Amino acid sequence: MDVQTKSKQSYLNQPTERISGAEAVIRCLIAEGADTIYGYPGGAIMPVYDELFKYQDQIHHVLTRHEQGATHAAQGFARISGRVGVAIATSGPGATNLITGIADAQIDSTPMVCITGQVPSHLLGSDAFQETDIVGISTPVTKWNHQITTAEEIPEVIAKAFYIARSGRPGPVLIDITKDAQFGELDFTYKKCEGIRSYNPIPKVNPVQLSAAAELINNAKKPLIVWGQGVILGEAEEEFKAVVEKSGVPAAWTIMGVSAIPTSHPLNVGMVGMHGNYGPNILTNECDVLIAIGMRFDDRVTGKLSDYATQAKVIHFEIDPAEVDKNVKTDVAVLGNAKESLAQILPLLNKNTHTEWLKKFEELSKIEFEKVIKNDLHPTKEGLTMGEVLKEINAQSKGEAAIVSDVGQHQMIACRYAEFNTSRGNITSGGLGTMGFALPAAIGAKMATPEREVVAVIGDGGYQMTIQELGTIFQTKAAVKIVVLNNDFLGMVRQWQQLFFDRRYASTVMTNPDFVTIAKGYQLEAKRVTKREELAAAVEEMMTSKEAYFLEVCVEKEDNVFPMIPSGASVSEIRLE
């Protein structure tokens, strides 16, 4: 079959054809719509790469510079598009290098399929060259995994993998394929998986629980919504906005939930959690009904659990039954996909306003502005702040850019101050907190949505963990905008050392290279900013560039991120300084 003929095939529900297992892998990916995959070749996966060479017109393979970069790129691709990301690697170290990204995808509910090569099946368990038990290693951090040892298994297992990865609460799946299964032949035909016995990814919404939830919301005097990424994953943004506006309930977000409704929405009262906004944190412990939607009561949101919203009736809208009552005891649990459950509760809700209650958020917001925000966004000190860099990005992007942040102080600043008008605008490593996430994730995000501006906001520490992915940008010409906020410190750890360890800055001072010279070595446009008067023009130049751009901004070395809830403290003990 020539390339021109192959490009017209969907390989879905077609007559059987005798092909190799390796070719079957490629045809399965095409049938699932995987047109962009990220990976790194090696001996145990070489038969698949050999077949991939023949299908370049249908699948764009992106050669990352490290397998971890492949997983983060696949995550960025998935997070911004809602499609399943795909990463591929060889056996042994190639497979183990995927683990950090897989674990990140698991805790942040990112749909991803990882395919690894494996030694021939007769060598399994013999400690052969580059053999590792990747199925055993990845079991705790995957939604499902499976080892294929015969070619005949490939279509059914890959169909199942994509179904599991994208259905219900999404997550990563790993498929390990022995080399003899890749070389073996099968009579190939492909059918998508539409269901698996005993696996019920979306619970049916219970009308009794819906009614109970609606009654609590309608009778509440001081209700508060806290929403998470479940709204975005469920594609429930419109239903969520309708519920917020009809009920008149102030709504706060976790870092994974931001952008589901615009930052500027009058009922959007800010971020909860360790570095969240003052008002929603303080008033969590004053509300009478707490409505959690698509969030899992992570410890960074709740602080001290025994003091978290003990006065409130708690309603939990959640797709995963395992999350209900795991951390916070709920009074009403509404299981189901957020899109369906919010659509069904909307007609049960009374049209309402909570004017006096909203005034409390406004009052606390003014206090936070005077104590914190004014100094972050309108500083009087000589040195640049991270906040004013985000302010300038907002001015240039008008809230339409996707912000991909790494992990650390800059991440909290980006989440606090970036403006979003469009959903799926905030892409970050939430649950695992993976330094090195942002650069490769931004590559994947830009490739998934080339029409959208993608800005990676990274600290000088995390940047150097995956700096080699500049090579991927150089080779693919992905027009990612990279902003490194350089304070010559591992800033978040340094902040804790300052506040809780008497300024003993143990192993947090960074002696950094010339980042601009490195970027220029990869033929990226690059600039360094050290003065406030240089910032606006540099950001404008970056944002108007049609190509990849690197901008280093040298910021204050010892700035801290406030507000802050100290570890082990309650949300009521949030500090402004």
Longest dimension (CA), the chain: 72
Does the active-site annotation cover 179?
Answer: yes
Q: How far apart are CA 117 and CA 182, in angstroms?
A: 9
Helix, strand and coil in the chain, % to nearest 5? 40, 20, 40
Does the active-site annotation cover 4?
Answer: no
The one catalytic residue among 14, 17, 54, 130: 130
Question: How buried is 127 (Cβ within 10 angstroms: 0-12 exposed, 13-18 middle, 19+ buried)?
Answer: exposed
**8 A C-beta contact, residue 169 and residue 320:** yes
Does the active-site annotation cover 492?
Answer: yes
Does the active-site annotation cover 411?
Answer: no
The one catalytic residue among 160, 179, 360, 481: 179
Does the active-site annotation cover 67?
Answer: yes
The pair phi, psi for residue 387, each rounded to 5°, is -60, -40
The one catalytic residue among 129, 183, 500, 501: 129
Q: Give the count of alpha carbons within 13 A of 373, CB side only.
A: 16
Q: Show the tokens assigned to 211.
A: 């009614």
Q: How far separated are the first and last CA of the chain, in Å rounded?
A: 68
Residue 151 Cα to chain centre, angstroms: 34
Centre a 10 Å sphere on the Cβ of residue 259 and count the other Cβ atoms it contains.
25
Q: How far apart are CA 345 and CA 328, in angstroms?
A: 22
Q: Show the tokens assigned to 484.
A: 């490194």
The one catalytic residue among 465, 492, 542, 543: 492
Q: How far apart are CA 214 and CA 113, in angstroms?
A: 38
If you write DSSP's letter for every residue of 233-266 in order, what string do you get?
HTT-HHHHHHHHHHHT--EEE-TTTTTSS-TT-T
Q: Show the tokens assigned to 460.
A: 């000088």
Q: Strand, helix or coil at 268?
A: strand
The one catalytic residue among 32, 67, 131, 323: 67
The pair phi, psi for residue 428, each rounded to 5°, is -150, 170
Q: Which residues are catalytic?
A: 67, 129-130, 179, 492
